[in-house]
A and B are shown apart, each in its own frame.
Chain A
Amino acid sequence: MTREVVVTGLGMTTPVGGDVESTWQALLTGTSGIRLIDQPWVAEQPAKIAGIMAVDPAEVVERVEARRLDRSQQAALVAAREAWAMAGAPEIDPDRLGAVISTGMGGLTSLMDAYDTLLDRGPSRISPHMVTQIMPNGPAAIVGLEVGARAGVHGQVSACASGAEAVSYAARMITTGRADVVICGGTEAVIHPITMAGFAAMRALSTRNDDPTAASRPYDLGRDGFVMGEGAGVLVLESAEFAAARGATILGIYGGAGLTSDGHHIAQPDPEGLGAARAIRFAIEDAGLSTSDIVHINAHATSTPQGDIAESVAIRAALGDHTDNVVVTGTKSMTGHLLGGAGAIESVFTLLALRDRLVPPTANLVDKDPEITLDVAAGAPRELPQGDIAALNNSFGFGGHDVALVFRSA
Protein backbone atom coordinates (compact mmCIF):
# COMPACT_ATOMS: atom_id res chain seq x y z
CA MET A 1 0.00 0.00 0.00
CA THR A 2 1.43 3.37 -1.02
CA ARG A 3 1.82 5.93 1.72
CA GLU A 4 -0.14 9.12 1.05
CA VAL A 5 1.90 12.33 1.04
CA VAL A 6 0.44 15.60 2.33
CA VAL A 7 1.69 19.18 2.29
CA THR A 8 1.91 20.93 5.67
CA GLY A 9 4.19 23.90 5.05
CA LEU A 10 4.89 26.42 2.27
CA GLY A 11 7.56 29.10 1.93
CA MET A 12 8.61 31.52 -0.80
CA THR A 13 10.65 34.52 -1.62
CA THR A 14 10.04 35.83 -5.14
CA PRO A 15 10.26 38.94 -7.32
CA VAL A 16 6.73 39.91 -6.21
CA GLY A 17 6.96 39.23 -2.47
CA GLY A 18 9.21 38.14 0.38
CA ASP A 19 6.87 35.43 1.65
CA VAL A 20 3.95 33.20 0.66
CA GLU A 21 1.02 35.53 1.27
CA SER A 22 2.54 38.71 -0.17
CA THR A 23 3.56 36.79 -3.28
CA TRP A 24 0.13 35.19 -3.62
CA GLN A 25 -1.73 38.49 -3.22
CA ALA A 26 0.50 40.07 -5.87
CA LEU A 27 -0.28 37.23 -8.28
CA LEU A 28 -4.04 37.44 -7.70
CA THR A 29 -3.92 41.13 -8.55
CA GLY A 30 -1.82 40.51 -11.65
CA THR A 31 1.20 42.42 -10.35
CA SER A 32 4.48 42.05 -12.23
CA GLY A 33 7.81 41.90 -10.45
CA ILE A 34 9.84 42.56 -13.59
CA ARG A 35 11.92 45.71 -13.73
CA LEU A 36 14.96 47.28 -15.31
CA ILE A 37 18.18 45.94 -13.76
CA ASP A 38 19.75 48.87 -11.94
CA GLN A 39 23.39 47.97 -12.68
CA PRO A 40 25.91 49.63 -14.98
CA TRP A 41 26.64 46.31 -16.72
CA VAL A 42 23.23 46.19 -18.39
CA ALA A 43 24.27 48.93 -20.81
CA GLU A 44 25.73 46.50 -23.35
CA GLN A 45 23.28 43.65 -22.71
CA PRO A 46 20.50 42.89 -25.22
CA ALA A 47 18.15 42.07 -22.30
CA LYS A 48 18.23 44.60 -19.48
CA ILE A 49 15.28 43.41 -17.38
CA ALA A 50 14.70 40.76 -14.71
CA GLY A 51 12.61 39.76 -11.73
CA ILE A 52 14.83 40.69 -8.79
CA MET A 53 13.68 39.36 -5.41
CA ALA A 54 11.29 41.87 -3.84
CA VAL A 55 12.97 41.44 -0.45
CA ASP A 56 16.75 41.01 -0.40
CA PRO A 57 17.37 37.67 1.34
CA ALA A 58 20.73 38.95 2.61
CA GLU A 59 18.72 41.39 4.76
CA VAL A 60 16.48 38.63 6.12
CA VAL A 61 19.02 35.99 7.18
CA GLU A 62 21.61 36.67 9.88
CA ARG A 63 24.55 38.84 8.82
CA VAL A 64 27.06 36.02 9.28
CA GLU A 65 24.82 33.62 7.31
CA ALA A 66 24.59 36.13 4.48
CA ARG A 67 28.38 36.32 4.38
CA ARG A 68 28.81 32.54 4.13
CA LEU A 69 25.99 31.72 1.70
CA ASP A 70 25.43 32.25 -2.00
CA ARG A 71 22.36 34.37 -2.77
CA SER A 72 20.49 31.24 -3.96
CA GLN A 73 21.25 29.60 -0.62
CA GLN A 74 20.07 32.67 1.29
CA ALA A 75 16.78 32.57 -0.63
CA ALA A 76 16.38 28.84 0.02
CA LEU A 77 16.96 29.41 3.72
CA VAL A 78 14.38 32.21 3.87
CA ALA A 79 11.75 30.07 2.13
CA ALA A 80 12.65 26.98 4.17
CA ARG A 81 12.27 28.82 7.47
CA GLU A 82 8.83 30.09 6.45
CA ALA A 83 7.71 26.63 5.32
CA TRP A 84 9.10 24.92 8.41
CA ALA A 85 7.39 27.41 10.71
CA MET A 86 4.10 27.03 8.81
CA ALA A 87 4.34 23.26 9.30
CA GLY A 88 4.67 23.90 13.03
CA ALA A 89 8.35 22.89 13.14
CA PRO A 90 7.53 19.18 13.36
CA GLU A 91 9.26 17.24 16.11
CA ILE A 92 10.75 14.30 14.30
CA ASP A 93 13.56 11.77 14.61
CA PRO A 94 16.28 13.36 12.43
CA ASP A 95 16.91 9.96 10.82
CA ARG A 96 13.37 10.17 9.39
CA LEU A 97 13.73 13.75 8.08
CA GLY A 98 15.01 14.56 4.57
CA ALA A 99 15.84 17.66 2.54
CA VAL A 100 15.68 17.95 -1.26
CA ILE A 101 16.41 21.44 -2.61
CA SER A 102 17.42 21.94 -6.22
CA THR A 103 19.05 24.63 -8.25
CA GLY A 104 19.55 24.82 -11.98
CA MET A 105 22.87 26.64 -12.00
CA GLY A 106 24.19 26.61 -8.41
CA GLY A 107 26.24 29.44 -6.92
CA LEU A 108 27.25 30.88 -10.23
CA THR A 109 27.40 34.51 -9.11
CA SER A 110 29.62 33.54 -6.17
CA LEU A 111 31.91 31.74 -8.60
CA MET A 112 32.13 34.76 -10.86
CA ASP A 113 32.84 37.05 -7.90
CA ALA A 114 35.55 34.66 -6.71
CA TYR A 115 37.09 34.64 -10.17
CA ASP A 116 37.21 38.43 -10.12
CA THR A 117 38.99 38.20 -6.74
CA LEU A 118 41.40 35.61 -8.12
CA LEU A 119 42.37 37.91 -10.99
CA ASP A 120 42.52 41.06 -8.85
CA ARG A 121 44.09 39.81 -5.63
CA GLY A 122 45.39 36.31 -6.24
CA PRO A 123 44.58 32.84 -4.95
CA SER A 124 45.31 33.65 -1.30
CA ARG A 125 42.24 35.89 -1.12
CA ILE A 126 39.62 33.33 -2.22
CA SER A 127 37.02 32.85 0.50
CA PRO A 128 37.08 29.53 2.33
CA HIS A 129 33.31 29.49 1.79
CA MET A 130 33.55 29.72 -2.01
CA VAL A 131 33.33 25.96 -2.65
CA THR A 132 30.25 25.43 -0.51
CA GLN A 133 28.67 28.54 -2.06
CA ILE A 134 28.99 27.25 -5.61
CA MET A 135 28.28 23.51 -5.25
CA PRO A 136 24.86 22.66 -6.71
CA ASN A 137 23.97 20.56 -3.65
CA GLY A 138 24.72 23.58 -1.45
CA PRO A 139 21.12 24.80 -1.01
CA ALA A 140 19.97 21.27 -0.09
CA ALA A 141 22.82 20.95 2.38
CA ILE A 142 22.15 24.36 3.95
CA VAL A 143 18.44 23.63 4.39
CA GLY A 144 19.21 20.10 5.59
CA LEU A 145 21.52 21.50 8.27
CA GLU A 146 18.91 24.10 9.22
CA VAL A 147 16.32 21.44 10.09
CA GLY A 148 18.79 18.71 11.07
CA ALA A 149 17.86 16.26 8.31
CA ARG A 150 19.60 12.87 8.44
CA ALA A 151 17.41 10.67 6.21
CA GLY A 152 19.18 12.12 3.18
CA VAL A 153 19.96 15.46 1.56
CA HIS A 154 19.65 15.63 -2.22
CA GLY A 155 19.61 18.09 -5.10
CA GLN A 156 18.08 17.15 -8.43
CA VAL A 157 19.60 18.92 -11.42
CA SER A 158 17.44 19.26 -14.53
CA ALA A 159 17.71 22.95 -15.44
CA CYS A 160 14.28 24.61 -15.30
CA ALA A 161 12.59 21.38 -14.20
CA SER A 162 14.87 21.01 -11.14
CA GLY A 163 12.46 22.45 -8.58
CA ALA A 164 9.62 20.17 -9.66
CA GLU A 165 11.92 17.18 -9.80
CA ALA A 166 12.99 17.92 -6.21
CA VAL A 167 9.37 17.80 -5.06
CA SER A 168 8.84 14.47 -6.82
CA TYR A 169 12.01 13.01 -5.32
CA ALA A 170 11.02 14.19 -1.85
CA ALA A 171 7.62 12.55 -2.18
CA ARG A 172 9.34 9.37 -3.33
CA MET A 173 11.47 9.38 -0.16
CA ILE A 174 8.22 9.26 1.80
CA THR A 175 6.32 6.75 -0.33
CA THR A 176 9.27 4.35 -0.29
CA GLY A 177 9.56 4.61 3.47
CA ARG A 178 12.93 6.38 3.71
CA ALA A 179 11.50 9.39 5.53
CA ASP A 180 8.35 10.66 7.24
CA VAL A 181 8.96 14.36 6.58
CA VAL A 182 10.92 15.95 3.73
CA ILE A 183 11.50 19.66 3.20
CA CYS A 184 11.84 20.26 -0.52
CA GLY A 185 11.86 22.79 -3.31
CA GLY A 186 14.10 24.84 -5.54
CA THR A 187 16.07 28.04 -5.63
CA GLU A 188 17.91 30.21 -8.14
CA ALA A 189 19.73 33.53 -8.10
CA VAL A 190 21.90 33.94 -11.17
CA ILE A 191 21.10 37.40 -12.44
CA HIS A 192 24.60 38.29 -13.58
CA PRO A 193 26.03 39.68 -16.84
CA ILE A 194 27.43 36.27 -17.79
CA THR A 195 24.08 34.44 -17.57
CA MET A 196 22.16 37.30 -19.14
CA ALA A 197 24.66 37.29 -22.02
CA GLY A 198 24.48 33.50 -22.35
CA PHE A 199 20.70 33.27 -22.47
CA ALA A 200 20.61 36.28 -24.77
CA ALA A 201 23.08 34.51 -27.07
CA MET A 202 20.52 31.69 -27.33
CA ARG A 203 17.95 34.37 -28.26
CA ALA A 204 15.90 33.07 -25.33
CA LEU A 205 15.35 36.36 -23.48
CA SER A 206 12.76 39.06 -23.99
CA THR A 207 14.31 42.36 -25.07
CA ARG A 208 11.23 44.44 -24.31
CA ASN A 209 13.48 46.68 -22.21
CA ASP A 210 11.33 49.78 -22.61
CA ASP A 211 8.35 48.15 -20.91
CA PRO A 212 9.64 45.69 -18.25
CA THR A 213 6.32 44.77 -16.62
CA ALA A 214 4.87 43.86 -20.03
CA ALA A 215 7.89 41.81 -21.15
CA SER A 216 6.89 38.39 -19.84
CA ARG A 217 3.67 37.62 -21.74
CA PRO A 218 3.00 33.90 -22.10
CA TYR A 219 0.53 32.98 -24.87
CA ASP A 220 0.38 36.55 -26.17
CA LEU A 221 1.22 37.11 -29.84
CA GLY A 222 3.72 39.78 -28.82
CA ARG A 223 5.85 37.46 -26.65
CA ASP A 224 9.55 37.48 -27.49
CA GLY A 225 11.27 35.33 -24.89
CA PHE A 226 11.47 34.73 -21.19
CA VAL A 227 12.53 37.12 -18.44
CA MET A 228 14.92 35.82 -15.82
CA GLY A 229 13.73 35.82 -12.23
CA GLU A 230 15.28 34.83 -8.92
CA GLY A 231 13.99 33.42 -5.64
CA ALA A 232 13.03 30.19 -3.94
CA GLY A 233 10.04 28.04 -3.11
CA VAL A 234 9.91 25.37 -0.41
CA LEU A 235 7.29 22.80 0.64
CA VAL A 236 7.11 20.54 3.67
CA LEU A 237 5.86 17.09 2.66
CA GLU A 238 4.88 14.44 5.20
CA SER A 239 3.36 11.02 5.22
CA ALA A 240 -0.35 11.37 5.91
CA GLU A 241 -0.06 9.14 8.99
CA PHE A 242 2.74 11.20 10.51
CA ALA A 243 0.87 14.47 9.87
CA ALA A 244 -2.35 13.07 11.33
CA ALA A 245 -0.59 11.72 14.41
CA ARG A 246 0.83 15.14 15.27
CA GLY A 247 -2.38 16.95 14.38
CA ALA A 248 -0.82 19.01 11.59
CA THR A 249 -2.91 21.28 9.37
CA ILE A 250 -3.08 19.77 5.88
CA LEU A 251 -2.68 22.44 3.18
CA GLY A 252 -3.01 20.11 0.23
CA ILE A 253 -2.19 16.63 -0.98
CA TYR A 254 0.68 15.58 -3.20
CA GLY A 255 -0.88 13.41 -5.91
CA GLY A 256 1.92 12.14 -8.10
CA ALA A 257 4.60 12.89 -10.66
CA GLY A 258 5.45 12.10 -14.24
CA LEU A 259 9.06 12.44 -15.37
CA THR A 260 10.15 11.92 -18.97
CA SER A 261 12.66 13.29 -21.46
CA ASP A 262 12.23 14.58 -24.99
CA GLY A 263 15.18 12.93 -26.73
CA HIS A 264 14.85 15.74 -29.23
CA HIS A 265 17.26 18.69 -28.79
CA ILE A 266 19.48 20.19 -26.10
CA ALA A 267 17.56 23.46 -25.88
CA GLN A 268 14.55 23.36 -28.22
CA PRO A 269 11.23 21.91 -27.13
CA ASP A 270 9.86 19.00 -29.12
CA PRO A 271 7.23 20.79 -31.25
CA GLU A 272 4.93 17.79 -30.90
CA GLY A 273 5.29 17.90 -27.12
CA LEU A 274 5.46 14.12 -26.90
CA GLY A 275 7.69 13.94 -23.83
CA ALA A 276 5.68 16.59 -22.04
CA ALA A 277 2.39 14.85 -22.86
CA ARG A 278 3.73 11.56 -21.50
CA ALA A 279 4.86 13.29 -18.31
CA ILE A 280 1.37 14.74 -17.83
CA ARG A 281 -0.31 11.39 -18.42
CA PHE A 282 2.09 9.58 -16.07
CA ALA A 283 1.55 12.17 -13.34
CA ILE A 284 -2.22 11.76 -13.48
CA GLU A 285 -1.83 7.98 -13.49
CA ASP A 286 0.64 8.12 -10.57
CA ALA A 287 -1.93 10.16 -8.65
CA GLY A 288 -4.56 7.49 -9.26
CA LEU A 289 -6.76 10.03 -11.03
CA SER A 290 -8.27 10.38 -14.47
CA THR A 291 -7.87 13.37 -16.79
CA SER A 292 -11.36 14.60 -15.94
CA ASP A 293 -10.25 15.22 -12.33
CA ILE A 294 -7.85 17.98 -13.42
CA VAL A 295 -9.40 21.46 -13.17
CA HIS A 296 -6.33 23.68 -13.35
CA ILE A 297 -2.80 23.77 -14.76
CA ASN A 298 -0.01 26.05 -13.64
CA ALA A 299 1.80 25.85 -16.98
CA HIS A 300 5.51 26.12 -17.63
CA ALA A 301 4.61 28.98 -20.02
CA THR A 302 7.90 30.86 -20.15
CA SER A 303 6.79 33.33 -22.84
CA THR A 304 9.04 31.95 -25.56
CA PRO A 305 7.48 31.78 -29.02
CA GLN A 306 8.03 28.02 -29.51
CA GLY A 307 7.85 26.75 -25.94
CA ASP A 308 4.36 28.03 -25.19
CA ILE A 309 2.95 26.40 -28.31
CA ALA A 310 4.73 23.08 -27.69
CA GLU A 311 3.26 22.95 -24.17
CA SER A 312 -0.21 23.78 -25.47
CA VAL A 313 0.09 20.91 -27.95
CA ALA A 314 1.31 18.59 -25.17
CA ILE A 315 -1.54 19.48 -22.82
CA ARG A 316 -4.13 18.83 -25.51
CA ALA A 317 -2.42 15.56 -26.45
CA ALA A 318 -2.54 14.43 -22.81
CA LEU A 319 -5.98 15.67 -21.78
CA GLY A 320 -7.88 15.47 -25.06
CA ASP A 321 -11.24 17.25 -25.14
CA HIS A 322 -11.11 17.70 -21.36
CA THR A 323 -8.51 20.42 -22.06
CA ASP A 324 -11.42 22.82 -22.67
CA ASN A 325 -12.55 22.39 -19.04
CA VAL A 326 -9.16 23.21 -17.52
CA VAL A 327 -8.17 26.72 -16.41
CA VAL A 328 -4.54 27.34 -17.35
CA THR A 329 -2.32 30.10 -16.03
CA GLY A 330 1.21 31.30 -16.71
CA THR A 331 2.50 32.93 -13.54
CA LYS A 332 5.93 33.58 -15.05
CA SER A 333 4.16 36.57 -16.60
CA MET A 334 4.59 38.17 -13.16
CA THR A 335 7.53 36.42 -11.46
CA GLY A 336 9.72 35.90 -14.49
CA HIS A 337 11.41 32.53 -14.92
CA LEU A 338 13.14 31.31 -11.76
CA LEU A 339 14.88 28.46 -13.64
CA GLY A 340 15.64 25.85 -10.97
CA GLY A 341 13.29 27.62 -8.57
CA ALA A 342 10.37 27.75 -11.01
CA GLY A 343 8.91 24.29 -10.43
CA ALA A 344 9.01 24.88 -6.69
CA ILE A 345 7.31 28.28 -6.52
CA GLU A 346 4.78 27.10 -9.08
CA SER A 347 4.03 24.02 -6.97
CA VAL A 348 3.30 26.44 -4.14
CA PHE A 349 1.08 28.52 -6.46
CA THR A 350 -0.78 25.37 -7.53
CA LEU A 351 -1.45 24.41 -3.92
CA LEU A 352 -2.62 27.95 -3.09
CA ALA A 353 -4.96 27.91 -6.09
CA LEU A 354 -6.48 24.65 -4.81
CA ARG A 355 -6.72 26.10 -1.28
CA ASP A 356 -8.40 29.36 -2.30
CA ARG A 357 -10.21 27.91 -5.35
CA LEU A 358 -8.74 30.79 -7.30
CA VAL A 359 -6.44 30.78 -10.32
CA PRO A 360 -4.24 33.86 -10.69
CA PRO A 361 -4.50 35.61 -14.06
CA THR A 362 -1.79 35.47 -16.71
CA ALA A 363 -0.52 39.04 -16.90
CA ASN A 364 -0.03 40.78 -20.24
CA LEU A 365 -2.24 38.39 -22.20
CA VAL A 366 -3.83 40.89 -24.54
CA ASP A 367 -3.75 39.34 -27.96
CA LYS A 368 -3.85 35.56 -27.60
CA ASP A 369 -1.83 33.52 -30.07
CA PRO A 370 -4.38 31.51 -32.12
CA GLU A 371 -2.04 28.52 -31.96
CA ILE A 372 -2.65 28.33 -28.20
CA THR A 373 -5.69 26.12 -27.78
CA LEU A 374 -6.06 26.46 -24.02
CA ASP A 375 -8.49 28.26 -21.72
CA VAL A 376 -6.04 30.73 -20.19
CA ALA A 377 -6.95 32.82 -17.15
CA ALA A 378 -6.34 36.49 -17.95
CA GLY A 379 -7.45 39.86 -16.63
CA ALA A 380 -8.81 38.62 -13.28
CA PRO A 381 -8.56 35.52 -11.08
CA ARG A 382 -10.75 32.61 -12.12
CA GLU A 383 -12.76 30.53 -9.66
CA LEU A 384 -12.30 26.79 -9.31
CA PRO A 385 -15.11 24.41 -8.30
CA GLN A 386 -15.72 23.29 -4.70
CA GLY A 387 -15.28 19.67 -3.63
CA ASP A 388 -12.29 17.43 -4.28
CA ILE A 389 -10.28 18.92 -7.12
CA ALA A 390 -6.84 18.34 -8.62
CA ALA A 391 -4.34 20.45 -10.55
CA LEU A 392 -1.15 20.04 -12.55
CA ASN A 393 2.12 21.90 -12.44
CA ASN A 394 4.29 21.53 -15.55
CA SER A 395 8.03 22.16 -15.67
CA PHE A 396 10.39 21.63 -18.58
CA GLY A 397 14.13 22.20 -18.74
CA PHE A 398 16.95 22.69 -21.21
CA GLY A 399 18.22 19.20 -21.88
CA GLY A 400 14.71 17.97 -22.66
CA HIS A 401 13.54 17.33 -19.11
CA ASP A 402 9.76 17.05 -18.66
CA VAL A 403 8.24 17.00 -15.19
CA ALA A 404 4.54 17.16 -14.34
CA LEU A 405 3.25 17.15 -10.78
CA VAL A 406 -0.32 16.58 -9.60
CA PHE A 407 -1.64 18.12 -6.40
CA ARG A 408 -5.09 17.63 -4.83
CA SER A 409 -7.16 19.88 -2.61
CA ALA A 410 -7.02 19.12 1.12
Chain B
Amino acid sequence: MSQEILDGLAVIVNEVAGVPVEDVQSDKSFVDDLDIDSLSMVEVVMAAEDKWGVKIPDSEVKNLTTVGDAVAFIAANQ
Protein backbone atom coordinates (compact mmCIF):
# COMPACT_ATOMS: atom_id res chain seq x y z
CA MET B 1 0.00 0.00 0.00
CA SER B 2 2.68 2.48 1.08
CA GLN B 3 4.80 1.54 -1.92
CA GLU B 4 1.87 2.27 -4.20
CA ILE B 5 1.44 5.70 -2.61
CA LEU B 6 5.17 6.38 -2.83
CA ASP B 7 5.17 5.48 -6.53
CA GLY B 8 2.13 7.67 -7.15
CA LEU B 9 3.67 10.57 -5.24
CA ALA B 10 6.89 10.21 -7.23
CA VAL B 11 4.92 10.61 -10.46
CA ILE B 12 3.20 13.73 -9.07
CA VAL B 13 6.47 15.31 -7.88
CA ASN B 14 8.01 14.61 -11.27
CA GLU B 15 5.05 16.14 -13.07
CA VAL B 16 4.96 19.24 -10.86
CA ALA B 17 8.65 19.96 -10.37
CA GLY B 18 10.58 17.85 -12.88
CA VAL B 19 12.36 15.82 -10.17
CA PRO B 20 13.34 12.40 -11.55
CA VAL B 21 10.93 9.72 -10.30
CA GLU B 22 13.77 7.59 -8.89
CA ASP B 23 14.92 10.48 -6.68
CA VAL B 24 11.62 10.65 -4.84
CA GLN B 25 12.38 8.32 -1.89
CA SER B 26 10.82 8.08 1.58
CA ASP B 27 13.78 9.63 3.38
CA LYS B 28 14.05 12.65 1.06
CA SER B 29 13.07 16.12 2.30
CA PHE B 30 10.77 17.98 -0.10
CA VAL B 31 12.56 21.28 0.49
CA ASP B 32 16.18 20.36 1.24
CA ASP B 33 16.65 17.35 -1.05
CA LEU B 34 14.10 17.75 -3.84
CA ASP B 35 14.11 21.57 -4.03
CA ILE B 36 10.31 21.78 -3.96
CA ASP B 37 9.34 25.40 -3.28
CA SER B 38 6.17 26.39 -1.44
CA LEU B 39 4.19 26.92 -4.65
CA SER B 40 5.14 23.52 -6.03
CA MET B 41 4.24 21.96 -2.66
CA VAL B 42 0.75 23.41 -3.06
CA GLU B 43 0.50 21.69 -6.43
CA VAL B 44 1.76 18.39 -5.01
CA VAL B 45 -0.82 18.56 -2.23
CA MET B 46 -3.65 19.37 -4.66
CA ALA B 47 -2.72 16.49 -6.94
CA ALA B 48 -2.39 14.08 -4.00
CA GLU B 49 -5.79 15.13 -2.64
CA ASP B 50 -7.36 14.47 -6.01
CA LYS B 51 -5.59 11.14 -6.53
CA TRP B 52 -6.27 9.58 -3.11
CA GLY B 53 -9.41 11.44 -2.09
CA VAL B 54 -7.85 12.80 1.08
CA LYS B 55 -7.89 16.27 2.57
CA ILE B 56 -4.47 17.57 3.56
CA PRO B 57 -5.01 20.79 5.52
CA ASP B 58 -2.40 23.56 5.44
CA SER B 59 -1.83 22.99 9.16
CA GLU B 60 -0.75 19.45 8.31
CA VAL B 61 1.34 20.30 5.24
CA LYS B 62 4.02 21.98 7.32
CA ASN B 63 4.56 18.70 9.19
CA LEU B 64 5.18 16.78 5.98
CA THR B 65 8.91 17.31 5.84
CA THR B 66 9.88 14.14 4.02
CA VAL B 67 8.27 12.15 1.27
CA GLY B 68 7.76 9.38 3.83
CA ASP B 69 5.78 11.78 6.06
CA ALA B 70 3.44 12.45 3.17
CA VAL B 71 3.07 8.78 2.31
CA ALA B 72 2.23 7.97 5.96
CA PHE B 73 -0.34 10.78 6.19
CA ILE B 74 -2.07 9.72 2.98
CA ALA B 75 -2.09 6.05 4.00
CA ALA B 76 -3.59 6.90 7.40
CA ASN B 77 -6.26 9.26 6.06
CA GLN B 78 -7.32 7.59 2.85
Q: Could you tell me if B18 and A129 are in contact, using CB atoms closer than 8 angstroms?
A: no
By the criterion CB–CB under 8 Å, are A64 and B46 in contact? Answer: no
A62 near B18 with CB under 8 A, answer yes
A128/B39 in contact, CB under 8 A? yes
> What residue of chain B has the Cβ atom nearest to residue A121's Cβ?
B50
State whether the Cβ of A124 lies closer than 8 Å to any Cβ in chain B: yes
Q: Does B72 contact A (CB under 8 A)?
A: no
Point out the residues of chain A lying under 8 angstroms from B15, CB to CB. 67
A interface SS class? helix
Closest B residue to A131 using CB positions: B39
Alpha-carbon distance between A124 and B47 when the two chains are bound, in angstroms = 11
A246 contacts the other chain (CB 8 A) = no
With an 8 Å Cβ cutoff, the count of chain A residues facing the other chain is: 9
Any chain B CB within 8 A of the CB of A22? no
Asked if A265 is at the interface of the complex by the 8 Å CB criterion, the answer is no
A residues contacting B by CB (< 8 A) are 62-64, 67, 124-125, 127-129
Further contacts, 12 of them, CB under 8 A, given A64-B17, A128-B40, A128-B42 = A62-B18, A63-B18, A64-B16, A64-B18, A67-B15, A67-B16, A124-B46, A125-B46, A128-B39, A128-B43, A129-B39, A129-B43
Q: Which chain B residues border A124 with CB–CB below 8 Å? A: 46
CB distance from A124 to the nearest CB of B (A): 7
Question: A128 vs B58: C-alpha distance in the bound complex, in angstroms?
Answer: 14
Q: Which of B17, B18, B43 contacts A127 (CB 8 A)?
A: B43
In the complex, A67→B12 CA distance in Å?
A: 13
Q: A-contacting residues of B (Cβ < 8 Å)?
A: 15-18, 39-40, 42-43, 46
**Chain B contacts of A64 at CB under 8 A?**
16-18
Question: Across the two chains, which residue of chain A brings its CB closest to B18?
Answer: A64
Q: List, in ascending order, chain B residues with CB within 8 A of A128's CB.
A: 39-40, 42-43
Q: Complex formed: what's the CA distance from A35 to B46 in Å?
A: 38
Contacts of A125 in B (CB 8 A): 46
Closest to B41 in A: A128
CB distance from B34 to the nearest CB of A (A): 13
Closest A-B pairs by Cβ, 3 of them: A64-B18, A128-B42, A128-B39
| Chain A residues whose CB sits within 8 angstroms of the CB of B42 once the complex forms | 128
CB distance from A390 to the nearest CB of B (A): 46
**When chains A and B are docked, how far (Å) is the Cα of A125 from the Cα of B39?**
13
Inter-chain CA distance A64–B15, complex, in Å, is 7
Q: How far is B39's CA from A63's CA once the two chains are assembled, in angstroms?
A: 17
CA–CA, A124 to B42, complex, Å? 10
- Chain A positions within 8 Å of B46 at CB level: 124-125
List 16 A-B pairs, Cβ < 8 Å: A62-B18, A63-B18, A64-B16, A64-B17, A64-B18, A67-B15, A67-B16, A124-B46, A125-B46, A127-B43, A128-B39, A128-B40, A128-B42, A128-B43, A129-B39, A129-B43
In chain A, what residue has the closest Cβ to B49? Answer: A124
The minimal Cβ–Cβ distance linking A353 to chain B, given in whole angstroms, is 40
User: How far, in angstroms, from A128 to B15 measured CA to CA in the complex?
Assistant: 15
Q: Tell me which residues across on chain B come within 8 A of A67, comparing CB atoms.
A: 15-16
Cα–Cα, bound, A129→B38 (Å): 11
Q: How far is the CA of A63 from the CA of B17 in the complex (A)?
A: 9
Task: Report how far A110 CA is from B59 CA in the complex, Å.
Answer: 29
Q: What is the distance, in angstroms, from A63's C-beta to the closest C-beta of chain B?
A: 7
Which B residues touch A127, using CB under 8 A? 43
Whole-angstrom distance between the alpha carbons of A125 and B47 in the complex? 9
Identity of the chain A residue whose Cβ is nearest the Cβ of B17 in the assembled complex: A64
CA distance A129 to B42 in the complex (A): 10
Give the distance in Å from the alpha carbon of A64 to the alpha carbon of B16 in the complex.
Answer: 6
C-alpha gap A166/B16 in the complex (Å): 32
Q: Which residues of A contact B16 (CB under 8 A)?
A: 64, 67
For residue B30, give the distance in angstroms from its CB to the closest CB of chain A. 15
B18 / chain A contacts, CB cutoff of 8 Å: 62-64
CB distance from A385 to the nearest CB of B (A): 51
Q: Once bound together, how far apart are the Cα atoms of A67 and B40, in whole Å?
A: 11
CA distance A127 to B39 in the complex (A): 9
A125 to B55, CA, bound (A): 12
Contacts of A62 in B (CB 8 A): 18
Roughly how many angstroms separate A125 CA and B16 CA in the complex, as a whole number?
14
Q: Roughly how many angstroms separate A141 CA and B56 CA in the complex, as a whole number?
A: 32
Least Cβ–Cβ distance between A129 and chain B, in angstroms: 6
Closest to B19 in A: A64
Task: Considering the complex, give the chain A residue whose CB is closest to the CB of B55.
Answer: A124
**B1, chain A: closest CB distance, angstroms:** 26
